[in-house]
Amino acid sequence: MSHYTWDKNTRYITQRDDTVGNLSKDLIEGFLTAWDGFWTVWMSQLLWIGLCLPVVTIPAAFAGMYYIMHQLANGESLEWRTFFEGIKLYFWPAMRWAGINLLVIASLGLYTLFLISSVNISGQDWVQAASGIPFGLLVIWLAVNAFTFPFMLVQENPSYRMALRNSLILYLKWPVYALAFILVNAVVIGLSVWLVIPWLILTTSFTALMACVCVKNKAHQTQKA
């Protein structure tokens, strides 16, 4: 029995539900959606790569990517212009999202590297142990933010703060469910790092699609509760 409600005005998940949900069904849905929409997935990946090359347009690239994958996950009709429609609609939310993430990731990453270099110089065990703290926080931050942009896409007024809150509650409410989607995406990214070629075909678009499928299904489930 669900004890959570979905606030349509703020798009908050506001209560708690202990059920795991139809994990296998939703994972299969994500894979089938990617298969059925393969050309959209591939086209979006190429557009994303092209927009990331100038570096300064990376936030716009993510706005277009998440938007078109959100539309694909929801069964909407798509064309290549949908990617750029997403940039137009979510450019400023994407800038805030990217700016905050860049600040946090850079700070934790540099601090981790600093502690690791200190270990090599001092050789003290406590410094080595301490270096694991910012690295662990970095991993947690990346995992939580895997769902923040999809949450912004289901809000009437995109708010990164609300999206971050909902992403945290998603892990508290459906920890196995959320971690399963993260594990699938982590495997895809790991294989892409190893094989390289998948980066040209589907890596970013597939992981964005899986995040959107996860958020869509849990948002709908909570709305019905």
pLDDT band at 209 (very low <50, low <70, confident <90, very high): very high
Q: Determine what percent of the chain is predicted with pLDDT higher than 90.
A: 67
pLDDT digits 0-9 by tens, 177-194: 999 999 999 999 999 999
In the block, residue with structure tokens 């004890």:
3
Is the pLDDT confidence value at 7 over 60? no
Start-end of H helices in the chain: 23-36, 38-52, 58-73, 80-122, 125-145, 148-153, 160-173, 175-195, 203-224
Is the pLDDT confidence value at 124 over 70? no
Of the given ranges (40-44, 120-124, 155-159), which has the lowest mean pLDDT? 120-124
**Between residues 155 and 120, the one the model is more confident about:** 155
| Contact predicate 166/13, CB 8 Å | yes
Half-sphere exposure of 93 (CA within 13 A, CB side): 27
Tell me the domain boundaries of the chain. Answer: 6-224
The average confidence (pLDDT) of the chain is 86
Of the given ranges (114-118, 138-142, 165-169, 200-204), which has the lowest mean pLDDT? 114-118
Is the pLDDT confidence value at 121 over 80? no
Alpha-carbon span 214 to 151, nearest angstrom:
10
Q: What mean pLDDT comes out for the span 84-98?
A: 96
**What pLDDT score does 131 carry?**
66
pLDDT band at 123 (very low <50, low <70, confident <90, very high): low
DSSP for 128-187 reads HHHHHHHHHHHHHHHHHHTTHHHHHHTSSS--HHHHHHHHHHHHHHSHHHHHHHHHHHHH
Is the pLDDT confidence value at 152 over 90? yes
Taking the CA atoms of residue 31, residue 59, residue 68 and residue 210 in that order, the dihedral angle to the nearest 10 degrees is 20
